């Protein structure tokens, strides 16, 4: 038994590549993620890149390992999981025996729901979706919120003041009410003992 790779291929809109096919020996149609057995001389990532291109017609710029797990207790073969992003889509390059593979693009929650409903035939898909979703969630939580806009001047603005100043005419276009300009009373001069302003 050889190692295998399984890929969660997620595009910029959050859609995930999901394949579907009929498996008569298992009683009908199932869904699964792109992936397959490693060929001689391949690393797990090289295997993942090849399988993603063949089964989904997709190449990816960013690859993140999601861990590897034993396939069975009786074998040393492992399944290697990857999150692939920065996708470029193209035509599928299906090999003989894969002609019936139908490619779909699902939102991540829909893929996870399908896993919970038992619609995946192989264990690699559900196993890869869990850490991929965790990586995406942690990444989103680490993005700082946008800083609130600040007034160009320091200090809070008065609630009765428009952005252009306190004496701006704030009437609407149909309001013909006369607005009396604000009159500012000059300060009274301070008289000295000689009765002259200082």
Integer Cα distance of 186 and 79 in angstroms: 85
Give the domain CATH number at 83.
3.90.79.10
Residue 98: predicted pLDDT? 86
Q: Which residues of the chain have pLDDT under 70?
A: 145-198
Distance CA 151, CA 158 (A): 12
Let me know if residue 122 belongs to a domain. Answer: yes
Residues spanned by the domain of 68: 4-141
- Within a domain: 191: no
Q: Structural domain tally of the chain?
A: 1
Give this prediction's pTM: 0.71
What letter would DSSP give residue 122?
A: S
pLDDT tens per residue, range 129-167: 999 999 999 998 988 766 455 544 444 444 343 333 433
Q: Is 72 within a domain?
A: yes
Q: Is residue 39 part of a domain?
A: yes
């Amino acid at each position: 038994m050889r190692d295998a790779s399984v890929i969660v291929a997620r595009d910029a809109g959050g859609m995930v590549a999901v394949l579907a096919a009929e498996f008569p020996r298992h009683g009908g149609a199932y869904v699964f993620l792109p992936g397959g057995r490693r060929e001689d001389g391949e690393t797990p990532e090289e295997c993942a890149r090849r399988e993603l291109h063949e089964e989904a017609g997709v190449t990816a710029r960013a690859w993140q390992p999601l861990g590897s797990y034993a396939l069975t207790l009786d074998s040393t073969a492992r399944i290697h999981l990857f999150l692939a992003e920065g996708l470029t889509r193209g035509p599928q390059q299906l090999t003989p025996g894969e002609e019936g593979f139908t490619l779909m693009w699902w939102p991540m929650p829909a893929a996870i729901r399908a896993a919970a409903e038992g619609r995946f035939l192989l264990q690699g898909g559900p196993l890869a979706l869990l850490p991929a979703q965790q990586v995406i969630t942690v990444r989103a939580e680490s993005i700082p919120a946008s800083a609130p806009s600040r007034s160009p001047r320091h200090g809070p603005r008065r609630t009765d003041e428009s952005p252009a100043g306190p004496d701006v005419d704030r009437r609407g276009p149909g309001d013909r009410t006369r607005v009396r300009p604000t009159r500012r009373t000059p300060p009274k001069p301070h008289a000295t003992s000689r009765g002259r302003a200082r």
